[in-house]
């Protein structure tokens, strides 16, 4: 068994006829927080969806705890211990906060009451709004809710797709805090972001994606010390 919790090897994913991920490989060790950086349209969301099996790869392997989960049904991927905070939050508008937390299927080893207690400890603002419809929450609160929703499955790996996008600065701060809290729980965190500065506040290591391939890999301090890399792959194109 490898040292990696998740390992993507030579993954090729298509959306219809379009070849989106072109031989993408990356690996996550248990307990680390890793960012997937890249400009919009380079393949960050397809990477997350490929891991979740919402976009099954046409070629390549997705090893989770040594088992190939490429092409497995999405709900089975979730039950193996991967959960996701999708891009744009994707709340269920008609459900209340409490109902949101009842949607995830809780692993039989855990009791839902205990999970709720843990989640409300990280997100006290949700405990106060249990019976409020999710659509009446602010953007930041909705982001807290979808992170809490994902944590209800007690994942070993939490995927977040642009978790700080479109939020007010104070909400961004809260998201960063909660991602750190999740990492403190021992959960591996892998998130996509277009903003280098915000990502480095959480991630210990980064990958940069361009045209469906990983083009850079390094620790956060390394990337911070390499403005030319940031400019080349993440800066505004001339």
Partner 1 sequence: MTSLIITQILNGLTIGLIFALVAIGLTIVMGLMEVVNFAHGSFYMFGGYITFFVFSAVGSFWLGLVVAPVACAILGLGLYYAIIRPLRKRHPLEPLVALVGVAMICRQLIRNIWGAEPKLLPIPFGRVQVSLAGAEFTYPIYFFVVMGVGVAALLALYLLFRKSDVGIRCLAAIQDRDTAMSMGVNVDRIGSLMLVIVMGVAGLAGGLVGPIFSVYPTMGLELIGLLFVIAIVGGLGSIGGAVIAGVTIAMTKSISSIFVSGNISDILAYCVLLAILLIRPRGIMGLATVME
Q: Supply the minimum distance, in Å, between the C-beta of residue 135 and partner 1.
A: 6
Q: Which of 20, 116, 152, 182 binds partner 1 (CB under 8 A)?
A: 152
Residue that the structure tokens 């090729």 belong to: 12
User: Does 86 contact partner 1 by CB under 8 A?
Assistant: yes
Print the binding letters for residues 87-116 with partner 1: x by CB under 8 A, - otherwise: ---x-xxxx---xx-xxxx-----------
User: Does 153 contact partner 1 by CB under 8 A?
Assistant: yes
Residue that the structure tokens 């409300």 belong to: 120
Q: Which of 11, 28, 36, 52 binds partner 1 (CB under 8 A)?
A: 52
Q: Which of 33, 34, 37, 83 binds partner 1 (CB under 8 A)?
A: 83
Q: Supply the minimum distance, in Å, between the C-beta of residue 118 and partner 1.
A: 17
Helix (H, G, I), strand (E, B), or coil: what is residue 180?
A: helix
Number of residues that bind partner 1 (CB under 8 A): 26
Q: Supply the minimum distance, in Å, between the C-beta of residue 237 and partner 1.
A: 31
Q: How far is CA 112 from the centre of its chain?
A: 22
Q: Do the Cβ atoms of 42 and 212 come closer than 8 Å?
A: yes
What element of type H or E holds 216? Answer: strand 213-219
Residue that the structure tokens 């999970």 belong to: 115
Distance between CA atoms of 152 and 103, rounded to whole angstroms? 9
Q: Supply the minimum distance, in Å, between the C-beta of residue 94 and partner 1.
A: 4
Helix (H, G, I), strand (E, B), or coil: what is residue 164?
A: coil
Residue 204: how many CB atoms within 10 A of its CB?
16
Strands 82-85, 157-161: pairing is parallel
User: Does 194 contact partner 1 by CB under 8 A?
Assistant: no
Which C-beta is closer to partner 1: that of 55 or that of 179?
Answer: 55
Q: Which of 66, 73, 139, 227 binds partner 1 (CB under 8 A)?
A: 73
Which C-beta is closer to partner 1: that of 61 or that of 96?
Answer: 96
Helix (H, G, I), strand (E, B), or coil: what is residue 184?
A: helix
Distance between CA atoms of 79 and 71, rounded to whole angstroms? 14
Residues that bind partner 1 (CB under 8 A): 52, 54, 73-75, 78-79, 83-84, 86, 90, 92-95, 99-100, 102-105, 135, 149-150, 152-153
């Amino acid at each position: 068994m490898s040292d990696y919790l998740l390992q993507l090897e030579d993954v090729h994913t298509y959306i219809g006829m379009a070849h989106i991920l072109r031989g993408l490989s990356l690996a996550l060790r248990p307990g680390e927080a890793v960012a997937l950086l890249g400009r919009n349209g380079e393949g960050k969301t397809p990477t997350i969806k490929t891991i979740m099996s919402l976009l099954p790869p046409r070629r390549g392997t997705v090893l989770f705890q040594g088992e190939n989960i490429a092409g497995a049904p999405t709900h089975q991927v979730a039950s193996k211990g991967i959960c996701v905070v999708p891009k744009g939050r994707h709340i269920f508008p008609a459900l209340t906060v409490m109902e949101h937390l009842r949607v995830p299927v809780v692993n039989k080893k855990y009791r839902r009451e205990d999970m709720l207690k843990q989640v409300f400890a990280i997100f006290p603002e949700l405990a106060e709004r249990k019976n409020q419809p999710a659509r009446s929450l602010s953007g930041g609160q909705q982001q807290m809710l979808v992170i809490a929703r994902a944590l209800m499955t007690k994942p070993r790996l939490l995927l977040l797709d642009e978790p700080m996008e479109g939020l007010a600065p104070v909400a961004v701060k809260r998201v960063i805090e909660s991602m750190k809290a999740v990492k403190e729980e021992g959960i591996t965190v892998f998130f996509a972001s277009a903003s280098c500065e915000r990502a480095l506040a959480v991630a210990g290591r980064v990958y940069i994606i361009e045209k469906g391939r990983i083009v850079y890999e390094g620790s956060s301090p390394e990337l911070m010390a390499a403005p030319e890399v940031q400019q080349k792959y993440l800066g505004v194109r001339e």
